[in-house]
């Protein structure tokens, strides 16, 4: 398995992940796991992928690709959050 396509518990520890995250990682994957888009989607709510991106992506190209891919999703989140807030705020005024 290429070191470029996997994450290890050791990498997480060296990057400063909290003990609970490292233990959860080990429970799910053992000491290492091959990274795939499907795996990231499947575990999207279990791990902070933004944290991982900022600490585990080593090249500027990889970080730029991550930010470019994340931007439309973040914008959609911001719109949905603003809409939800406005609805709740207006509801409380009734």
For the chain, the domains span: 1-56, 59-94
pLDDT band of 5, cuts 50, 70, 90: confident
pTM check: above 0.95: no
* Beta strand ranges found along 10-60 (DSSP E): 32-34
Burial of 89 (0-12, 13-18, 19+ CB in 10 A): exposed
Mean pLDDT of 4-33: 95
């Amino acid at each position: 398995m290429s070191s470029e396509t996997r994450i290890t518990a050791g990498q997480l520890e060296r990057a400063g992940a909290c003990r609970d995250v490292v233990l959860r990682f080990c429970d799910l994957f053992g000491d290492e796991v091959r990274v795939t888009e499907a795996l990231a989607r499947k575990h999207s709510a279990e791990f902070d992928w933004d944290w991982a991106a900022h600490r585990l992506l080593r090249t500027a190209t990889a970080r730029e690709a991550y930010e470019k891919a994340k931007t439309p999703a973040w914008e959609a989140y911001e719109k949905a959050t603003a809409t939800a807030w406005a609805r709740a705020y207006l509801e409380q005024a009734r």
